[in-house]
Amino acid sequence: MNLAALRLLAMVVALLLAAERAPAEDSTQHATPEPAPAATLATAIGAPATDADASPSITLAPVKMRLIETGRSLPIDLPTVIRLAEANSLDILEAHARRDEAHGRRNEALGALLPEVTGTFRARKIDGMIQASFGQRDRATFSTLNPAVGVQLELNPAEALFDALAAHRALDAAEHESGRAHQDVLALATRQYFGLLAGHAQVRIAEQTLEASRELARIGRDRTSVGAGLKVDVLRAEAREGATAVRLVEAQRMLRRASLALALTLQLDPSVTLFPAETVVRQRTLIDPALPLDDLIERARTARPVANAEGQRLTAAEHEKSASLAEALGPTVFGSFEESAIGRSTGDLDNRQIYGGFIGLTLSPSSIGRVQAADARVEQARLAQTRVERRIAVEVISARDDVLTAQEQIAAAMRGLRAAEAALDLSQVRFKGGVGIGLEVLDAEAALSEARTNLVTAILAYDTSEIALLHAVGSVSASSLLAGVATPDGAQP
């Protein structure tokens, strides 16, 4: 019997085996939602949206894996992540504390413009020699009671005024820094949630690839048992199954790491494994990357809290310089008024009023150094503002480019996924028909797994880049992260 006849016999045997197993395989597909064929696997992981106007998405099924601590897991969605981040973040609480400190310093500076109120009660007794104002000496014994209430004010008016203005600007800067911390935390928590979603998707993809490898190994063993297959195909499938199992374990580890990172940000129990409650990985457009680049940069310069904070710091430094000049050249004013009583005992107290005041001028060589230092701080604040403005422009350009790049990657990944699904379908048909080899199916499965991973990675890269662009223009908020496309003025449609 020649080689052609052997091949024909193998094809007939394979077709007969496939026909005999068809009812059993159909019943397995109804009982298990994720059987081996590639089309069904693609549907289980989620096929890309076919509507040209729809955003690409991938549907995920639940996964089974070892938890950080047995029996302790928690599904969490994006709204809950944002709510917990706003309530529990230590960075936000620390920024609020710094704002409160600046508020106290502003009140301290304002208080320096107001007079101080004093109250005293003096009691003393003299028994012995006394000396009068003109030098006369005499021996006497008497008591003195002197209750008094007074008001006094001592300040350099110009210095006190500029100090108050500087403290007010410092408070404004602290307010903007508090807003910056709020945006930073929300952006970080959302990125970490997408990391959790990516970990879930990678685990699910590895699970499906492992199931397909096991199915191929089973079919290969069945074919080998009847003499219609090659032992090498079975060994290759089992080797691929082992390699996929290793990747699955690594994907599970990365999912647990993503859970730990998110739990730390949200101040949750890290021993509880977090899972994304969402079952769809979808493309989310938070801000339109097609907006003119100049508009995005200008929007960022006016809306970014860090830019506003640096502007307030520059103004505060200028006021502090003016206060230094006033301290060096301006007069010091003092005024007081006292309403008091004096007498030998409580029964013979007599009222009296004391008024006083002076204006003084002090010229100190050390004031020259203080003015020079204040001028240097103004220059430092100006340079810091320029640096921030330039960094903001670069961040906007970079984030926008990342979004556009991710769009291109999604389109390419969708084309690759469709081609990989078609290739695996054809390879499985050829293999079951006896005209293909197991290595061809293994390569097709590997290509499909890579295509699924590429699409998930591209979609989540787009979502993460959208968050970066939203953060770069200073528009991160709970509503913007949960809404659709942002309009140029920051309003949500």
Look-up: residue for tokens 């944002």?
A: 82
Q: Is residue 14 part of a domain?
A: yes
Two tokens, residue 62: 């639940």
Contact partners, residue 131, CB within 8 Å, separation at least 6: 137
* 16 in any annotated domain: yes
The token pair at 291 is 């907006």
Within a domain: 25: yes
Q: Report pLDDT for 32.
A: 28
Q: How many domains does the chain have?
A: 1
Contact 214, 200 (CB under 8 A): no
**The domain containing residue 20 runs over which residues?**
1-31
- Residue 23 CB partners (closer than 8 Å, separation 6+): none
Q: CA nearest 89: which of 188, 193, 172, 194?
A: 188
Phi, psi (rounded to 5 degrees) for 134: -100, 20
In a domain, 402, yes or no: no
8 Å CB contact between 160 and 327: no
Provide the pLDDT for residue 209.
81
Predicted pLDDT of residue 168: 95
Q: Cβ–Cβ contacts within 10 Å for residue 354, how many?
A: 11
Question: What is the secondary structure of 259-316 as a DSSP string?
Answer: HHHHHHHHT--TTSEEEES--EEE---SB-TTS-HHHHHHHHHHH-HHHHHHHHHHHH
Q: How many CB atoms lie within 10 A of CB 393?
A: 18
Whether residue 12 lies inside any domain: the answer is: yes
146, 71 in Cβ contact below 8 A? no
User: How many Å apart are CA 327 and CA 320, to the nearest integer?
Assistant: 10
Write the CB contacts of 274 (distance below 8 Å, at least 6 apart in sequence): 73, 74, 75, 76, 196, 258, 259, 262, 263, 268
For the beta sheet containing 332-342, the strands, ordered from the edge strand earlier in sequence to the opposite edge, are 116-131, 137-155, 332-342, 350-360
- The alpha carbon of 19 is separated from its chain's Cα centroid by a whole number of angstroms, namely 56
Does the residue 17 lie in any domain? yes
Q: What is the pLDDT of residue 19?
A: 38
Helical ranges in 46-156 per DSSP H: 78-88, 90-111
Assess if residue 9 is contained within a domain. yes
Amino acid identity of residue 390, one-letter, is R
- 26 within a domain of the structure (yes/no): yes
pLDDT beneath 50: ranges in the chain: 1-53, 484-493
Three-state DSSP class for residue 246: helix
At residue 445, the pLDDT reads 80
> Which pLDDT value is given to residue 131?
81
